[in-house]
């Protein structure tokens, strides 16, 4: 009997890639999304990649308790991966109530429904943002979390705590938080990828939109940081590698392999890459020259952060495999695909 995984926010960037990997690994998936931050492009892409024309898109706002209840009554599900949340750092600073309201309420609702309906395995999509600017790099899962620097980051910390407390209070619930570093790239088919609304905040979508001519010039935010080339260091994780980490974590839960009721894993490559190195690599592998300039530092950016990935390697049997060059090629193929080129 196939195990069924509910993917909340399943039509979005990460959710759609995770849905593909779960289906290809032999799981059944219930995709649910309120489509507030995406259209159906990625969901249609998932259907094409997997040949699952019958896959249903359940329109669910996870803040709507009655609708969540209805979903749990309709399907018998074994695990939940919760993505449904707002994710723009700057917007969360400008409108914190939007973030606390949506990101916390939806998570509380879905855990409550899971608890009532006997779904015991919950995976939460957390972020490296919970670490803040730490001194000792790379960060391990034991590195203490510093106070969040944005309401968005705070919702990630609070949701981690909600999950931890629920696993400790309700003995039937098990939880895993995956702390993503910087997810980038697209599926090799170029049928699913990131579709930011408006001007992208993140580096790679801004690069690809500049390359395709949608943006005039890429700004590199600061080249006077205390790093080898003066630009910030991040750990860029390929989206398909990231998606596979979810399959490994879900299997760990469903196969009864967890060693504690609540576990945390970093999901990154373990390799710091500078903004300048990323831009240079993009240009080289795609044979392009980007229009770019050095701009002032961006408020709130940490100088450097990258993951220690030993725990995920040991316990999940997972590690990142895709080369940065291939990931950046996939990001460009996806941008061309959506531009119709
Ligand atoms: N950058 C530029 N120009 C741009 C966009 C970004 O130089 O146009 C630089 C940033 O300054 C940073 C690096 O590229 O040094 C990466 O920036 P992103 O916005 O792509 O990613 P962040 O590391 O800022 O964001 C990540 C996650 C968020 C999370 C945040 C916490 O994507 O979900 O870390 O700081 F909240």
Structure confidence by residue, pLDDT tens digits, 63-105: 999 999 999 999 999 999 999 999 999 899 999 999 999 999 9
244 pLDDT above the threshold of 80: yes
Q: pLDDT digits over 248-299, tens only?
A: 999 999 999 999 999 999 999 999 999 999 999 999 999 999 999 999 999 8
Q: How far is the CA of 305 from the centre of ligand 1 (A)?
A: 11
The catalytic residue positions are 152
206 pLDDT above the threshold of 80: yes
Q: How far is the CA of 241 from the centre of ligand 1 (A)?
A: 19
The CA-based angle 333-285-16, given to 5 degrees, is 35
220 confidence band (pLDDT: 50, 70, 90): very high
Q: Whose CA is nearest to atom 19 of ligand 1?
A: 202
The residues with which 176 forms a beta bridge, in sequence order, are 123, 263
Query: Is the pTM for the entire model greater than 0.95?
Result: yes
Q: What whole-number distance in Å separates Cα of residue 325 and Cα of residue 219?
A: 21
Q: What is the pairing mode between strands 174-180 and 262-267?
A: parallel
Q: How far is the CA of 312 from the centre of ligand 1 (A)?
A: 23
* Ligand 1, atom nearest to 204 Cα: 20
- Kindly state the average pLDDT of the residues 146-159: 95
300 pLDDT above the threshold of 90: no
- Residue 185's CB is within 10 A of a number of other CB atoms, namely 27
133 pLDDT above the threshold of 90: no
Q: Annotate 165-192 with DSSP letters as a single string.
A: HHHHHSTT-EEEEEEE-EEE---TTSSS
Q: Whose CA is closest to 156, among 225, 103, 111?
A: 103
Q: Which residues line ligand 1 (CB under 6 A)?
A: 87, 89, 127, 129, 152-153, 182, 201-203, 206, 218-221, 232, 234, 275, 298, 301
Q: How far is the CA of 203 from the centre of ligand 1 (A)?
A: 6
Find the distance separating the first CA and the last CA of the chain, reported in whole Å: 43
Cis amide prior to 119 (ω within 30 degrees) = no
Q: Whose CA is nearest to atom 18 of ligand 1?
A: 202
Q: Whose CA is closest to 134, among 303, 8, 1, 2?
A: 303
- Kindly state the average pLDDT of the residues 219-245: 98
């Amino acid at each position: 009997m196939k195990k069924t995984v509910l993917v909340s926010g399943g039509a979005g960037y990460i959710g759609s890639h995770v849905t593909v990997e779960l289906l290809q690994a032999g799981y059944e998936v219930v995709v649910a999304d309120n489509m507030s931050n995406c259209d159906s492009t990625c969901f249609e892409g998932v259907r094409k990649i997997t040949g699952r024309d019958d896959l249903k898109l359940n329109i669910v706002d996870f803040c709507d308790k009655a609708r969540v209840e209805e979903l749990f009554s309709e399907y018998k599900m074994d695990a939940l991966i919760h993505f449904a949340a707002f994710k723009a750092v700057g917007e969360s600073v400008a409108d914190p109530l939007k973030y606390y309201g949506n990101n916390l309420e939806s998570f509380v609702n879905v855990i409550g429904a899971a608890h009532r309906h006997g779904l015991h395995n919950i995976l939460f999509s957390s972020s490296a943002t919970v670490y803040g600017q730490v001194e000792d790099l790379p960060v391990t899962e034991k590195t203490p979390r510093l106070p969040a620097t944005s309401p968005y980051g705070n919702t990630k910390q609070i949701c981690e705590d909600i999950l931890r407390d629920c696993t400790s209070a309700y003995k039937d619930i098990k939880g895993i938080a995956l702390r993503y570093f910087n997810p980038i790239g697209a599926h090799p088919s170029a049928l699913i990828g990131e579709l930011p609304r408006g001007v992208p905040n993140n580096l790679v979508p801004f690069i690809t939109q500049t390359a395709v001519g949608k943006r005039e010039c890429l700004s590199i935010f600061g080249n006077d940081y205390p790093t080898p080339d003066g630009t910030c260091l991040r750990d860029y994780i390929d989206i398909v590698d990231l998606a596979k980490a979810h399959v490994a974590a879900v299997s760990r839960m469903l196969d009864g392999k967890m060693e504690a009721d609540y576990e945390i894993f970093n999901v990154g490559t373990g390799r710091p890459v500078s903004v300048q190195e990323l831009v240079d690599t993009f240009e080289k592998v795609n044979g392009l020259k980007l229009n770019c300039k050095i701009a002032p530092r961006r408020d709130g950016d940490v100088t450097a952060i990258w993951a220690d990935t030993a725990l995920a390697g040991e316990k999940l049997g997972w590690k990142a495999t895709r080369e940065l060059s291939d990931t950046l090629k996939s990001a460009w193929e996806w941008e061309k695909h959506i531009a119709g080129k």
